Every structure is written in C-alpha cells, then in structure tokens.
Structure 1
Amino acid sequence: MYKILLALLLATMLNAAIYDGVAIVVEDKAITLLDIEKAMQETKQDAKQVSEMLIRKKLEEIEIKKRHISVSNSEVYEDIKKMAQRNHLSVGEFYDAVRESNGLSSSELKEKIKQKLLSQKLYSTIAMSSVSEPSDDEIAEFYKFHKDELTHPSSFDVTIYTANDKAILDTKVHNPMFYTPQISSHDETLDYNSISPELASLLAKTKIDHFTPVIPNGKGGFISFYLKSMTLAKEEDLQKIKPQIINIIMGQKREQVISNYFARLRDNADVNIIRMPK
C-alpha cells in the first residue's frame, strides 16, 4: 500500500515539474518558459511579443505537418550553396563564416535552413491561388510614391581593413587613429551590381565616414569597410524597374494573405496560456 502511494506521489511530482515548465500549449504543442525567455534575449522583445511569435511558429509547424510538406537534404544544400555564391565564398568558407559570426555549427545551420524552406513552401501553398499580378495602374501608383526607395547607390568608395584577430580590428573601428601592422588596408571602389546583395545592403546602411561592423571575411580572418563616399544612381525609368516593382507589390500582397490566414488560424486554434515569465 505504501509503495503504491509513494509511486503515485512521485508520478504527481514529476508531472508537476514538467507542467511547471510549460507556459503555453498550442493544440498539443508546448511552449516552455525557457523557450520564451531565450527568444526574449535573442530578439530583445517583451514576453507578449515573443509569445505571439512562438504561437505563430507552432501553428506553422502544425500546418506543415497537416499538409505533408517536406524538404530534402539536397534542397537544403542547394540553398546554402546559393548563399555562399552570393557572398563569393565556397560552401566550406561559408560554414566557417557563419560559425565565426553566429556560433552556429554546420548541422545547426542546416536545420535553420530546413525550417526556413519549410516555411517558404507553406507560404507559397497558402498564397498560391490568392495573389495575382498587379495592374499597370497599381505599378504606376507604386512607382509614383516610392521613387526614393527604388533608387540605390551605384558605387561605394571604401577603405577595406582586414585582420586575423577580430579584437584588434574592433579596436581600429572604435579608434580610427589606432595603428598596428597586424591590420592591412587598401582603397577600392565597389560597384553596387558587382558585390553581394548582403554587402550592398550593409554599405547602403552605413553612414559616410563610418566603419561597418567587423564581419568574417570567409578566409579565417575579419574585415571592416570604412565608407568614404557613395555615388547615387540616377532615377530609374519605370519600364526598366517594372519587374522589380511587380515583385515588391506581389510580395506585399502575399504577406497580407499569409498574415490574414494565420490570424484566422490563431483565432480558431486551441491556445492555452498557462503562465508568462515574471
């Protein structure tokens, strides 16, 4: 009798411990307090914002499973290969750069890419029959009100600093007068269309006479760009950038369709909020 009572007591204690760690249950999927706290640290958002993000993620996982959506290892590798090529790196160099900048192992990166591709396939399935190409009037109106957003620099005049030691290069970035032979530099003009989209975006966001953040150079070292000046491109002709505008408008429509879909799903889902981090 005592053994039975003891077993029941232990089972109750164990179940309570597990339950105590659960913050939200979406259908039959649990979100823990640790999940929320970790996401708060990573995103710098509050508990409510993070909780809604994690609920959305669980709803996506449920939809992916229900629709039997899958991603193969070859699809993951092809996506990684394309990202490496855009950054003018081999796949091995790209793995090294990601590890140095984000601390992700190759297996962790592959898992993140897999989840990204699964979500993309889900979004495409949801939006496929609901998004149509914009009319000429929609394109003309978008062009009229977004000309500044459609203009990008044509080139960047930079001084490129490289070093094997990130800490030394960080010192240079925060103290431009700092000198050491361990840092090499040279001036270069970078054409917008000849560099990776990621680097072009980074430079376009950098103020004149300022350094970019220190980033891995894909060769085991680190690099930072000092932006001396940039040349702005002339206003683009509507017909020339029409495909770009179509992609932007369709992207916006697609996002709205997906957002509305998951808002309805959220309203109808069995979501039980048990507790939130203090």
Structure 2
Amino acid sequence: MTEEFKTLRNRMRLFLLNLCLCCGLSAANFVNGIAFFVNNEPVTLFQLYQVMQGAKVSREEAMELLISEKLHEEEAKKFNIQITEIEIDEELQRIAQRSNQSVDQLKSIILARGVAYSHYRDEVKKRVLQKKLYSMIVTENIELADESELKSYYDQHHNDFIVPTHISIVRYSASSQPLLEQLVNAKRSISSIPVAPDGVLSAPEVVETAKLNPQLTALLMNVNVGSFTPIFNIGGEYATFLVSSKSGGVQIPFEEAKRDIFARIMMERENTVIKGYFDKLRAVAKIKVLRLE
C-alpha cells in the first residue's frame, strides 16, 4: 500500500466522520433546538413541526397554538391542578359510553387509526386538565343568569324553541365503525343523501318527536338538516343517523325551556370569560423567537 493511498484513505475516513457528526448534530438540533420561548419556557422546532403536521396548519398558526398550550400549562401550575390516572380512566369511560362502546372497543378503534394509545391518553389528560382549569377560572369570574334574562332570551330566540313534529332520517348501520366514518367524512353536497357503500345498510324513516325519548329528540334537534349524528354502538352494531328534513312545529312553553335557556346563556358567558382571560395573558406574554425553521 503506497503512502499516497494511505493519505487518501485517511482523508476519506476523516471526511465521513465529519459528515456523520454534522448529520447527527443537525438531527439533534432539529429535535432539541429551541424555536421560541413563552415566558421563559422553551418550545422546540420539533414541537412546532409536529403541530404543523398534526393540525395541518401554517407555521404561524402552529406557533399560536403552542403559545396557547404553554399559557394553559402555566395557569394549571398556578392553580396547582393535578390529574390522576383514575380521572383519565373515568374520562375514557365517558368518551366510550357516549358512543355505547367499552373502553377496550375505543382502544381498538384508536389503534386501528394508527394512533398510539399512550398518545391518546396524554391528549385525554390534557382535556381533563383543561376542564378543571376552565372551571376554576369561570367560578371566579362569572355571574349567574336571572329570571328576567332567561325570559328576554326566550323572547328574542322564539324560533329556537319550536320542536318539529316529524323528523326524516336515514339510518346507516355497519359491523365496522371505520366504514361509517368513511361515509360520514366523505365530501358531498348538504342536500344530497349518500348511497350506502358496500358493507353499510341504510333505511329511511320518518319519526314523530312526540313518541321519541327526550334524549333522542334533543340529539336530533341539535343536528342540522343534511348532517349526521355521532356514531353509536348499538348492541354490537355501529349506527349513525342522517337528518334529511324536519317538519311541523310545536312551541315549547317558557317554563319547560328555562333549563335549556339557562344552559345556553351560561355556556356563552363561560366561553366569553375564558377567551377574555387567555386573551389578556397572551397580550402580556413574553415571546422571544429564536428561529422558526
């Protein structure tokens, strides 16, 4: 082996070593590199990229979402909010029950979508924390609606309290929830009634609201014409209902509507209080941007 060849080989080794080091450092800088600070709390480039990809938003929108998340975390610490594994399990149980499923069935659906169950639990934990935080913020900053406000709302939203006597629906059912999800999420005009794909059964029906149980009536009332209800697990079969039309009308008396009116007013006030609270925090937050790409 000539000296010239040895020198060339050593130079090549050195070049490859430097290349590997540079690539390694670039990857590390991407994962650990700080994009910006929110009140001295760092947010990495990797976190920014994850939100951009996951939420399919622009870099600026992703930054605002992460700022909001940091401000929520900061306030949760200030209120000393703690979330236990039992609370997460209870929330998962509620989520499953809303679709008439077991937690195991919910878990299977999450995994079938390609989402790690541990990641889903983390998201549920954030949701529980947010509920607790909002409850504390609202309790300190909200005023309850009185009788005169309820009556005023009823008079101004008279048409909201007319219940249709008949609702035309199309029931879609399948043995697999993903089949119904594809149907519900498919693009179509609001006025069209989708044809059931293979594996999905459909059955049109006109129901009388007076003969329905109050929960189902409330559910169908809150679904716009041309839209689907959530997907339910009914005796091992999955089903969703498309509301195709509503007809007739009976006015709900004020006394019967009071509870619903109170809930509406308080929800509007809660949303206003929470938005105002975090708008103020955002306005005074110290944001230091280092790099966004």
Give the TM-score of the pair, scaled to structure 2. Answer: 0.68
Is the 1:163–1:223 contact (alpha carbons within 8 Å) kept by the matching residues of 2?
yes
- The answer for the alignment partner of 1:134 in structure 2 is 145
- Name the CA shift for 1:252/1:187 in 2 (closer, same or farther; >3 Å): closer
Is the 1:97–1:218 contact (alpha carbons within 8 Å) kept by the matching residues of 2?
no
Distance in 1, Cα, partners of 2:257 & 2:151: 11
- The answer for the alignment partner of 2:85 in structure 1 is 73
The one-letter code matched in structure 2 to 1:262 is F
Distance in 1, Cα, partners of 2:114 & 2:164: 32
1:263 aligns with 2:279: yes
- The answer for the alignment partner of 1:6 in structure 2 is none
Give the TM-score of the pair, scaled to structure 1. Answer: 0.71
1:26 shift after superposition: 0.9
CA deviations on 1:211-249 (whole Å, 9 max, x unpaired) are 849958588876554544434652322221212222222
Higher alpha-carbon deviation: 162-171 or 151-160: 162-171
1:95 shift after superposition: 3.0
The one-letter code matched in structure 1 to 2:105 is E
Q: What does residue range 121-270 of structure 1 map to in structure 2 within 5 Å?
A: 121-151=132-162, 156-164=167-175, 182-188=199-205, 191=212, 193-195=214-216, 200=220, 204-207=223-226, 212=228, 217=233, 223=239, 225-231=241-247, 234-270=250-286
The one-letter code matched in structure 1 to 2:224 is K
Radius of gyration: which is bigger? 2
Higher alpha-carbon deviation: 242-251 or 14-23: 14-23
Percent identity at matched positions? 24
The one-letter code matched in structure 1 to 2:201 is S
Distance in 2, Cα, partners of 1:73 & 1:179: 40
Distance in 1, Cα, partners of 2:98 & 2:181: 24
Q: What does residue range 53-64 of structure 1 map to in structure 2 within 5 Å?
A: 53-64=65-76
- The answer for the alignment partner of 1:83 in structure 2 is 95
- Name the CA shift for 1:164/1:240 in 2 (closer, same or farther; >3 Å): closer
Is the 1:154–1:193 contact (alpha carbons within 8 Å) kept by the matching residues of 2?
no
Query: Which runs of no fewer than 5 residues in structure 2 stay unpaired?
Result: 1-20
The one-letter code matched in structure 1 to 2:91 is D
- The answer for the alignment partner of 2:36 in structure 1 is 24
Higher alpha-carbon deviation: 171-180 or 27-36: 171-180
Query: Which runs of no fewer than 5 residues in structure 1 stay unpaired?
Result: 1-8
**CA RMSD of the aligned region, Å?**
4.1
Aligned residues: 261
Distance in 1, Cα, partners of 2:288 & 2:140: 32
The one-letter code matched in structure 2 to 1:205 is N
Distance in 2, Cα, partners of 1:137 & 1:95: 47
1:30 shift after superposition: 2.4
SS in 2 for 1:124: helix
Higher alpha-carbon deviation: 75-84 or 91-100: 91-100
